[in-house]
Structure 1
Amino acid sequence: MEKMRALVQRSHRGPADLVLATDVPRPVPGPGEHLVRVGAAGLNFADVMQSHGTYGGGPAAPYIAGFEAAGEIVGEGTRVIGTGAGAFAEYVVMPAAGVLPVPAGWSDAEALGMVLNWTTALAALRPLGEVEAGDVVLVHAAAGGVGQAAVRLARHYGARVIATASPAKHHTIQADVVLDSARPDLAEEILRLTGGVDLVLESVGKATFDASLSVTKPFTGRVVVFGAASGDATLSTHDLVFTHRVQLKGLHIGALATAAPDSYRALLDELEVLIAQGVYPPGTAEVHPLADGPAVLRALESGRTHGKHALDPWQAPRRHLPVPAPGSTNTRRWQAPVGPLAHDAGDQPGQHEPENGGETVVDQHAHLVVLQLEQAGEEQRQRLGDGPHELDERVGRIGPQQDHQDVDDLDERDHCPDAGNHSRGRRTAAGNSHSGHD
């Protein structure tokens, strides 16, 4: 039996127990399935939820993580984007009826988000949100994959867009107004700016739900809920009758594809038009080696990412020099991580400012452990520790984790489709192969 490299979730103790295995049996497609050589696998908040066992109907550990991927159908050469259980691997099986062609001229990484982020954003705006030119649209978690797509689409349809995100991510958002998602007077400021919102895209949940209801226009205003990254919110029938007289709608893109296949097919048809018009451009996912998956998921979980992130199972892992042990009189250099992983290694006691093109000097007091991945023919994973405190294959941090969780980019929590069939002509979603949404 042929083997492959894959990220295996060993328990439901979170991304810390997601490990790189090099001897996983390559999956064998059955009738109506494709074996896809993965070129890029998308990371979504549902992956975080699955790692904790909190996504309804999710897989039982141990399992190969991931569910969104783009790549080449083995034996055919056709490049496709779709969903399938076990996407954080060199190969994944996808339902033949559930794949879409990667648009001409796009890379696999650029196509990620087509069947998840953009369809969710479009569904929230069009069939459910009924957006029209001149509407005021509020988009929460606007720095995330769905949020960025929603902002772009809403403006294309002629809406005025108010977006929320943490201040550090405002530069990534092309809305008419961008507000701090954590400001205590968020609802008052939105009402001051707009007088009332026609449509709210709500994916954060507890932290923003009251504000969303408060700023929505009575009776005509719509609130589309497709996530609860900060926790569940509660609403009573009394609230709807006497306080928040709004139109409240729920969205799960996989459930929509199953229950209303014609509507889902219309979404994909519209996406094709948007791609042809240049409204939906190639994605700009930040691509990481497969071994970095656990660290990227930790960054996603704690709200330290923006936009789309992907794993390339064929990209060589970054190599690092080991950090001196405490008490050592030597200092050594290691290549500073970039992107969200920089925060896994940054701001630690004993570090100096980056110098010499991104290298950082680490002295004997540094609280970092860097795993050096050795590659002798086939990369072999070196492990330290056991259980939930195991360090991932790139860089780990010893000590307390940050206690502030930003809700930006966590909109993937509830609106991922089940890894099912999303086909042209026959687009349905079936099964719970990843059991989790970006």
Structure 2
Amino acid sequence: MRAVQITEFGGPEVVAVRDVPEPRPGAGQVLIDVARCGVNFADTLLRENAYLASATLPVIPGIEVVGRTADGRRLAAMIPNGGYAEKAVIAEDAAFPVPDGVDDVAAVALLAQGLTAWWLVDHTTRVRPGDSVVVHAAAGGVGSLAVQLAKLRGAGRVIATASTPEKREFALSLGADAAVDPATEDLTGALCAANGGEPVDVVLEMTGGRVTDQSIAALAPFGRLAFYGMAGRIEPERVSPRELQRRSITVSGFWLMNALTRAETLVKAYTEMSAQVTAGELRVVHGGDHPMSEVRRAHDDLSGRRTIGKLVLDPHR
């Protein structure tokens, strides 16, 4: 079968389409014909061996797939790797049945990115009706869903940040009440100004560096910041226990891999979001449907932050 295989770490040039053996399902597993596989920022980190979990070469990247089994069932699932391929093996007890009203791109988007956004809003920060919520990188896969989920949970004001005017307009079209340029020198002041001059209750943050530091400074007493990535690759400096205590604020981390043992909760989340997509309450943005032969371009666009919404690969093109 055709698959993308990495045999050395590096830039987009190291991802290449090759002929590899078809995987064989073991006990409790099933083989699917992959209709779409998700492309995530984490894949670019794996390619460089800079992800939270180290990789062993050779490796086929891709942790999200949707496709059909030999008996015709349509399933979506997260897998350790192997998604950038025409066939993939998934664990049956970790697979989500996909309703007819959810297309392949949405089915994939609701996996790593959808489940992350859902967990951040519902569990990590526990957004309550009336809360003011800052969503950084609001035009991305997680951010675009988090903006909408926060509004569906009754957030009083959702403040999006995005790097270009077009992305900020896009975030507003998803329901954000205000949009801010994260490059603003006084980001703390800009976030508070977007909240009517008041500190904010919740921040969903995946940039790192000064963005994290200034977001913490923007938190109200009992505010919560959830840190779920570091796209800027610069460690924040402001996480001081005394500062946390002084304002009774919470700074927490989240990595979806730790939630995979909570199967019942994830099934609930996926089922709930699928129903919202079908009902038109939750919009999944198609950010690029690339042939697998264009995987390098997909990685380059993602690393260069030129994308909006969910990127996928079609392994059969």
TM over 0.5: yes
| 1:256 maps onto 2:263 in alignment | no
1:187 aligned partner, one-letter code: T
Which of 11, 19, 43 lines up with 2:16 in the alignment? Answer: 19
Which of 50, 57, 71 lines up with 1:76 in the alignment? Answer: 71
What's the CA shift string for 1:310-334, capped at 9, x where partnerless? Answer: 110112xxxxxxxxxxxxxxxxxxx
Change (3 A) 1:274 1:93: same
1:236 is matched with which residue? 240
Cα offset, 1:254, TM superposition: 2.1
Which of 140, 159, 171 lines up with 1:173 in the alignment? Answer: 171
1:19 aligned partner, one-letter code: A
Q: Contact 1:106–1:282 at 8 Å: present in 2 too?
A: no
| Mapped partners of 1:163, 1:217: distance in 2 | 17
Q: Contact 1:111–1:283 at 8 Å: present in 2 too?
A: no
| Mapped partners of 1:312, 1:39: distance in 2 | 6
Change (3 A) 1:291 1:52: same
SS at match of 1:212: helix
Q: Contact 1:65–1:88 at 8 Å: present in 2 too?
A: yes
Which of 270, 273, 277 lines up with 2:272 in the alignment? Answer: 270
1:128 is matched with which residue? 124
Change (3 A) 1:265 1:6: closer
Change (3 A) 1:170 1:281: closer
| Mapped partners of 1:13, 1:282: distance in 2 | 31
| Mapped partners of 2:113, 2:303: distance in 1 | 17
What's the CA shift string for 1:189-208, capped at 9, x where partnerless? Answer: 22223201111111111141
1:191 is matched with which residue? 192
Cα offset, 1:290, TM superposition: 0.3
| Mapped partners of 2:185, 2:283: distance in 1 | 35
| Mapped partners of 1:164, 1:282: distance in 2 | 18
**Bigger helix share:** 2
Change (3 A) 1:58 1:95: farther
Q: How does 1:36-435 map to 2 (within 5 A)?
A: 36-73=32-69, 75-84=70-79, 85-159=81-155, 160-167=157-164, 168-174=166-172, 175-194=176-195, 195-218=198-221, 220-231=222-233, 232-234=235-237, 235-242=239-246, 245-258=248-261, 260-275=262-277, 277-281=279-283, 283-315=285-317
1:222 aligned partner, one-letter code: R
SS at match of 2:111: helix
Change (3 A) 1:288 1:181: same
2:7 is matched with which residue? 10
Q: Contact 1:40–1:71 at 8 Å: present in 2 too?
A: yes
Cα offset, 1:269, TM superposition: 4.5
What's the CA shift string for 1:166-206, capped at 9, x where partnerless? Answer: 12422321311011111112211222232011111111111
Cα offset, 1:238, TM superposition: 3.3
Q: Contact 2:65–2:76 at 8 Å: present in 1 too?
A: yes
| Mapped partners of 2:136, 2:35: distance in 1 | 31
Q: Contact 2:67–2:74 at 8 Å: present in 1 too?
A: yes
What's the CA shift string for 1:271-312, capped at 9, x where partnerless? Answer: 344345432245524201101111211221121212111110
| Mapped partners of 2:264, 2:2: distance in 1 | 38
1:203 aligned partner, one-letter code: M
Q: Contact 1:70–1:111 at 8 Å: present in 2 too?
A: yes
Structure 2's unaligned 5+ residue stretches are none
Which moves more between the two structures, 106-115 or 264-273? 264-273
Stretches (4+) displaced over 3 A = 260-266
Cα offset, 1:268, TM superposition: 3.4
What's the CA shift string for 1:133-166, capped at 9, x where partnerless? Answer: 2211000010100000011111122211100001
SS at match of 2:229: coil
Q: Contact 2:109–2:284 at 8 Å: present in 1 too?
A: no
Structure index of larger Rg? 1
1:20 aligned partner, one-letter code: V
SS at match of 2:77: strand
Structure 1's unaligned 5+ residue stretches are 316-438
Cα offset, 1:264, TM superposition: 3.4
| Mapped partners of 1:51, 1:96: distance in 2 | 27
Q: Percent identity?
A: 33
Which moves more between the two structures, 177-186 or 141-150? 177-186
Which moves more between the two structures, 268-277 or 225-234? 268-277
1:172 aligned partner, one-letter code: F
SS at match of 2:190: helix
1:352 is matched with which residue? none
| Mapped partners of 2:5, 2:301: distance in 1 | 18
Which moves more between the two structures, 53-62 or 154-163? 53-62
Change (3 A) 1:254 1:203: same
| Mapped partners of 2:75, 2:171: distance in 1 | 29
